[in-house]
Structures are given as C-alpha cells and as structure tokens.
Amino acid sequence: MSTDLSEPEGRGTGAGKLILFGEHAVVYGAPAIVAGLPDGARAVARPTSSETSTLTFDATREPSSEPTSKTERDTVERAFRAICEVFDDRLDGPVEVTVTVDLPIGVGLGSSAAFSVAIARALADWTGADDHIERGVEAGESVFHGNPSGIDQLAATEGGLHFFTNSDPLQATSLDSPDLEVGICVAGPPASTREMVENVARRREHEPDLFEHLELLIGDVARAASAALREGDEARIGELMDINHGALASLGVTTSELDEACHVAREAGARGAKLTGAGGGGCICALLPDGDHSVLEAWRDRGWSAACYQL
C-alpha cells in the first residue's frame, strides 16, 4: 500500500519523560520508574516536491538548545532519515516534516524520544502504517543513543507512570499512584546521554564488583519506591529519591550544579530531590509538598529554569 497523496498531512505527538528512579542501572537490567510528561513534541508530515525528504525543527522552551553544532544537526538529520526509511515501503516519495519540541533539549527529559515518536506517528497517521511506529521510533532512538534501554520510548509512547525493566522482552507495569507534584529544574548545560552511558560503562569495566553493588542498590530503591508510590507515602518517596541521587553520584554522573540544586530544593522544603536522566548536566527533580512552590522560587532565585508537573 502506498501513500495517498490526496490526504493533506499526517500528525503525531510524543510525550516527554521523567525518570523518577533507576537511571543508568536500568541499562544493566535493574528496574526503573518513569513518568510521561505532558510536554513533548509535535510533528506534521506532508508531501513535498523536493527531491529528498526535509525536516524543519523548532524548539519552544528555554533554555533554548536547538541543534546548533554540525554534529548535533547531523545527528538529528540522521535520526529523521532513519525513521523515514522505516516507512519507505508506504511512501510514494519524499516528505516534508515539521517538528516542534516543547521541552528543553538534551537535559534528560526525553526530547529525542518525543521527537522520534512524534515523527513516526505523523508518518503512520498519513500512510496508515501504524505497525511501523515502533520500528520507526527504535530507528531514531538508536541514532541518538546507540543502545537505548527503551525507557524513553515507553514514556514517549504511553505516558503515565510505569515500573520498567530492561529485560528480554522488555517489561513495563503501569503504576497507580495518588497525584504527586514534582518540580523540575534545569540546573546544568545539556549533556550527551550516549557519552554519559559510555562513561559509566568504562568505569564499570574497572570496578565491576563495586558497580554491580551500586546497580543492585539502585534497583532495590526503585522496587521500594514502587510500593511507596502505590501507597502514596510521600515521605518515603522523598527519602528514596535522596538515596538514589547518592548512588548516582557514586556512579560519577552528577555535577556540582546538580548537587547544589538538590541541596537548595531540600532546604526549601522538598521531600526529596535527585538528578534525572543521564546526568553530566541537565535536570534535577524534586517532590514538592502539596501546593507549596517555595522550591520553584528558590531555584529561580538562583537563576535556574524551573517548572512544576502533576504526575
């Protein structure tokens, strides 16, 4: 079946993600907990008279971090073309895709997965090839991250709150939890997820036994957090966030800015705080007391960008 060019366009969206527990250890089979964010990416696909498919990219959120270097632009372009290749058997010719990303980019909130899901869904909406979406997203994420765990793809596709294990096959269980208010702070510059994962892998080679113990700890924290989330035990959730951050610091993925942002959040009344995502820069998240935005104000007083989400 080929594309019906009488159809004017296809549209798709992808959610952002917030890893609440389990970064890095999830790559080695430990469980993690991830939440979809309402902000993400939007894509529109249309036929084009150009000789090749084209991508128009726009980022709306501060700090603005649209791909600026040649390497970044090349990576985004390669991911776009990898997704399009999956749909080649359903397309009559080149397409024009416009993507708008409503997340800060490269700071651990799943902008690449949201980008990949939005494009794949837009192409599927236009061609009717819904069965191509998963492979399209995997193709894009493989360009961005090399060997992605699948956790970003899960959040970007499904949204919601999930207990996730990077096993074969992947396992994900939806978590029912009372509403939580989480603050997210961009406390450092963007960092490459691929590079951070590779850095952890190199350190793991030198100290395999110690890193295995850290991964087991992070996995145990995620399991305990799963129970605490179901029970709505916010004090326990906050304590476990602090423990998780300490373990990630031992993996070598935190920075002085991320540590300071966690400290500021706790001093302002957060129940717990930790880095989220690959680390090396980017974001932290903090569990906020109900209706109290003192943490957000404290972050902003330091000049950091901050937002609040209901999970």
Instruction: Output the six-digit token pair for 166.
Output: 């990077």
- Helix or strand or coil: residue 258? helix
Annotated active-site residue 130? The verdict is: no
How many alpha carbons fall within 13 Å on the CB side of residue 133? 25
How many C-beta neighbours within 10 Å does residue 211 have? 21
**Helical packing angle, 70-86 and 133-145, nearest 10°:** 160
Instruction: Output the six-digit token pair for 228.
Output: 């605490």
What's the distance, Cα to Cα, between the start and end of the chain in Å?
40
> How far are the Cα atoms of 80, 121, 295 from residue 116, in angstroms, in the given order?
8, 9, 32
Q: H helices of 146-192, where?
A: 151-158
- Helix or strand or coil: residue 269? coil
Q: What residues are paired with 13 via a beta bridge?
A: 42
Given the residues 39, 102, 125, 152, select the one marked as catalytic.
Answer: 152
160 sits in the region (left: phi over 0; alpha: psi -120 to 50; else beta) called: left
Catalytic residues: 152
